[in-house]
Structure 1
């Protein structure tokens, strides 16, 4: 086994073709976050992005996209943003994960959404459910499942859809638009949501905004950005921006105008999005790991992702352990306990309201 480390921009046409072949050979790899286009887009904006290319004799048998941070700390590409991480590799590939991160010149590789079946996966890593909307049997079949599983939610959403139209006006859904204006409206809603709930505003980092704009302009057979918006009487009320392969749409940035909150515009929008996505050939909407009420109501299946790290004995790995592992374990304890999770959520929302009131003119 030979491993070479390259920048995304230095991957050749044959490398990209082989990456797509390997990605298409295993359904576990069917996530846009594991597509070469995503790594190249992030690499154009972040110099720390690298790709480990695995060679077995004359054959390329794997690609590991990663970020190299100071002290040899390794993370997935766009860490903190992605819902699928890992090595895209040939079937039955065997490799020592410690050998792999050594070849990447890393002391430790940390992840929180590692996909199943990875050579990187070890017994001590924590598994988490990742809810999906499974459209492989068609949208009508999905809706029948939701009526049985979440009948009250479905009936309530249908009623609120009719009421929204009576109170405000006709509903229009614009799927796969490439217009920047509604994108910026959506990002503004998302920023407000982050602040309101006490979370870090991802769009305060200009490179993430530029990444989203670049992905919006990308539309190929294998990969593309997808923006869809829900309008009422011509005014935007909810939307979502995600990325897709040919058959999987990754749920990424959903948000809505809170002035319409009583109509549950997020649920109305997600059902409309699922219908249009299914018509466009999408078979799976991956809503991503996380305890969210709307995901529980809309899901009809789930994947599994892992959280953990692989480390070699080194000063960098030791520092990383002290800074990250105890905090991650504490966070895991909170998230696994509904009472603690709800308390933490209330604290964050209180902080968000205070921060918003302080920042208001």
Structure 2
């Protein structure tokens, strides 16, 4: 096995075509986060982005996109943003993990949404987790039919709220592939406000993430296209989603709604309309991403499994990295896996988010200067 390392923008058209071919040959690699276009997008804003190309008999047969940090600490490309990670390869290809890491100059390789079929990484997996998905044509019928039969109360309530939204605000309409960048900016503002309210890290406070989303919005390729979907009431956007899609898979990535309209459940309407429209545009699967959320339990038709862990070779840096990262991950996973712990943690984060938002608003309030004294 010959292994060479390249920057994403150094990949030749022939290598990109071979990568696309490997995606097409295996359904588990059809996710747009595994496309060379996503790796190239990250590479525009992250200097450590690399791609390992595996060759057999001179022919490229596998591609591992990753990010290399100081001291040879590696991570799956877009770790923390990507909901699907893998060494994309042609069927039947095997590799030696230590040799792969050595060729990449890595002491450790961290992943958290690894496709479970990656057997050579198996000994390095520390846990597997459910990743809910929507089959947009479950059982050969439509997703709307499946939802009505599975959750009749939810479907009826959502339809009732949609009619009320149309009466109160304006006629409800949906655009699957909106090309207005101003609406993308609106989505980012909504999402930032949501992150702050719930005490989470505001991803859109990081310029490289904003840059990546802007870049992907302009990508229009077969294996990776940035799709902005918008729910309107009249001319007013009330909910929006942005995520990449391949020919058959749409990744649910950033969804948010107008914070002035929560009583209408516009976020849930958004997900339902997106799944229905995706089916009409050739998508067969909507990947909701790893995570226990009530809305995902309602929307999913089944679950995939993804793995997290640390592939490592004997090296002091690898040992130190695992000793630092593994307890943090373990604590987070324990909290997320137990509602008795997760719910109090969510309340604490929301309280912190409320206090932080109020403090920020107070700090940015412009106070009038005292006027001149009389006399």
Equivalent residue, structure 1, for 2:62: 62
Greater shift in the superposed pair: 313-322 or 151-160: 313-322
Q: Partner of 2:221: helix, strand, or coil?
A: coil
Q: Does 1:260 align with 2:239?
A: no
The answer to whether the 8 Å contact 1:138/1:278 transfers is no
Which residue of 1 is the match for residue 174 of structure 2?
A: 173
> TM-score under structure 1 normalisation?
0.97
Measure how far apart 1:267 and its partner are. Answer: 0.8
Counterpart of 2:5? 5
- For 1:163, the equivalent position in structure 2 comes to 164
SS at match of 1:259: coil
Structure 1 counterpart of 2:187: 186
Q: How does 1:185-224 map to 2 (within 5 A)?
A: 185-224=186-225
8 A Cα contact 1:24 1:30, kept in partner: yes
Q: What per-residue deviation string (whole Å, max 9, x for no partner) do you get for residues 284-322 of structure 1?
A: 110100111111111111111001111122121122123
**Runs (5+) with no aligned partner, structure 2:** 366-375
Number of residue pairs matched by the alignment: 361
Query: C-alpha offsets along residues 62-113 of structure 1, whole Å, 9 cap, x if unaligned?
Result: 0000000112111111110010001001212221212211211111111110
Q: Which runs of 5+ in 1 are unaligned?
A: none
Counterpart CA distance in 2 for 1:152 and 1:105 is 55
Give the TM-score, by structure 2 length: 0.93
Structure 1 match to 2:44:
44
The corresponding residue for 2:100 is: 100
Counterpart for residue 81 of structure 1: 81
Contact 1:139–1:274 (CA under 8 A) maintained in structure 2? no
Give the direction of change, closer, same or farther, for the CA distance of 1:124–1:41 in structure 2 (3 Å limit): closer
CA deviations over 1:156-192 (Å, ceiling 9, x no partner): 1011111111222211212211211000000000000
Indicate yes or no: 2:37 matched with 1:29: no
* RMSD of Structure 2 on Structure 1 (CA): 1.4
Contact 1:45 1:211 in 2 (8 A): yes
Matching residue of 1:347:
348
Please identify the structure whose Cα radius of gyration is greater. Answer: 2
1:231 paired with 2:229, answer no
Distance between the aligned counterparts of 1:343 and 1:139, measured in 2?
41
Q: CA offsets, 1:25-64, max 9 Å, x none?
A: 0000010000011101111221100000001122211000
Three-state SS of the structure 1 residue aligned to 2:170 is: coil
